[in-house]
Amino acid sequence: MFPIHNLSGKVIGFGGRKLTTQDNAPKYINTPESELYQKSKILYGISQARKAIRAEDHCLLVEGYTDVVSMHQGGVENVVASSGTALTVDQIKLIKKFTENIIILYDGDSAGVKAALRGLDMVLEAGMNLKMVLLPDNEDPDSYIRKEGAEKFKSFVEHNASDFILFKSKLILEEVKNDPVKKSELIGEIIESISKIPDPIRRSLYIKECSALLKVQEQLVINEVQKKKRKEFYDKQKLNTNEKEIIEQVVHREAVEEVFQTDATSPMYACEREICRLLLEKGGDVIADSEHHLVHYVFENLEDTVLKHPLYQVLYQHVKSLYKENTVLDLKYYLHHENEEIRKAAEEVTTYQYDLANWNNRDKDVQLPKWNENYSRDIIQAVARYKILLVTEMIEQNQVQLKIAEEEKNEEAVMLGLKMNMYLTKLRKELAKAAEVV
């Protein structure tokens, strides 16, 4: 019998392993599900492993109870089991409390590896890093750690952990060989996985690596990933078929793209400068009435936003990459950075503050930022103002779409445009309240 503990260490259920050799009996019998015990929301061993997971900054995921017990006894404690079920969203969230890195261990002779891979895209969707390890033939985590011990086990995992998408790609190549039909179908699976990655930079790197590995043109992979992302957007917005077709037509109109041309003195750039300045000067400071640092507030609120100004975007992404590694550096680091673009951007955003005299005259909805010591207020307002500007661009784009629809007498497109205009206008008003812009 295996007691199953919740995160705080209290026993909430049991798993029983059969002792007989009856073929028609299940191998394990678990406590029936209740409000207290829900198998999809708990990981076996999580209470005992949480400290080790934090310390090692990765979580080893195995299949069974005995694997977890043997690995703990052998000296490897950052391990949990999904107890025979496919990994769920709730279980992923549980792991993410302690680390963003998951390494899944598969038996060397596991026949179900390919099938199991199909259910792991949700890990990527959660923004986590996922690696796979295949143990030697005829070995499982239980037998391998008993035979080799903790040090050799850890060394094997370290040297054999493969990135999930690249692992999946190589596995596909071995399976399809020279069959073009199978290769086409399975490449679709890879593209599906890549499209789940929320970080655009990581997504771009995977596209480049996988297109080379699979010998497919990079642009084709980019196009397919974009299609997947648009489909995901449509599904979330619950748009009907006609609305989807209208948006697809608009996406390819060059006239719409002209709306997004932004000159160097625009409010958009000025707002981006303010956000970058505060990240560099106050990034490690805690926001007032909050437990979070300023960098956390910015990247949580702007998520996957790409800055319009190319120089500021280089700086912004560099700060973001350090933040993901739990590192926040001071202004001096950026002003003396070895990368010329980062150094130049840092100099510009921190010396530009007195050159914004005409900003208020350019956009009545966005006021000139006040350069004061209240950085908590400054960053909240700057982020809200930036969102207002992004929504304003969307409204302008929508107006172009609406005008085209009216000229073409496309009633469905007109109705969609009016509906979108109402939604965006309402959103801008809500953001204006947050920025204290009336």
Q: What is the CATH number of the domain that holds 342?
A: 1.10.860
Query: Contact 21/57 with Cβ under 8 angstroms?
Result: no
Is residue 153 located within the same domain as residue 184?
no
Q: Rounded to whole angstroms, how far apart are CA atoms 157 and 161?
A: 6
Residues 285-296, mean pLDDT to the nearest whole number: 81
- Which residue's structure tokens are 């080893």? 60
Residue in this structure with the two tokens 């007691």, named with its chain if needed:
3
**359 — pLDDT class (breaks 50, 70, 90):** very low
Range of the domain at 110: 36-160
Distance of CA 239 to the CA centre of its chain: 24
Query: What is the DSSP code string of 208-244?
Result: HHHHHHHT--HHHHHHHHHHHHHHHHHHHHT--HHHH
In this structure, of 87-91, 121-125, 286-290, the range with the lowest mean pLDDT score is 286-290
CATH number at residue 96: 3.40.1360.10
Reported as a pLDDT band with limits 50, 70 and 90, residue 259 is very low
90 vs 156: CA distance, rounded Å: 29
Residues 429, 351 share a domain: yes
Do 270 and 233 reside in the same domain of the chain?
Answer: no
Q: Does residue 4 lie within any of the structural domains?
A: no
Query: Count of domains in the chain?
Result: 3
Note if the pTM is more than 0.75: no
Give 98's DSSP letter. Answer: T
Which domain-ending residue is among 160, 194, 217?
160
In a domain, 30, yes or no: no
Do 125 and 197 lie in one domain? The reply is: no
- Residue bearing the bigger pLDDT, 82 or 10: 10
Question: Quick check: 12 and 36 in contact, CB under 8 A?
Answer: yes
Which pLDDT value is given to residue 355? 42
21 domain-assigned? no
How buried is 173 (Cβ within 10 angstroms: 0-12 exposed, 13-18 middle, 19+ buried)? middle
Do 188 and 118 share a structural domain? no
Look at residue 155 and tell me if it is in a domain. yes
DSSP single-letter state for residue 32: P
Measure the CA–CA gap between 173 and 90, rounded to whole angstroms.
32
CB neighbourhood size of 57 (10 A): 12
Does 394 lie in the same domain as 272? yes
Do 274 and 388 share a structural domain? yes
Flag whether 289 is in a domain: yes
Q: Are residues 412 and 290 in the same domain?
A: yes
Q: Which residues contact 13 (CB under 8 A, 6 or more apart)?
A: 3, 4, 30, 31, 36, 37
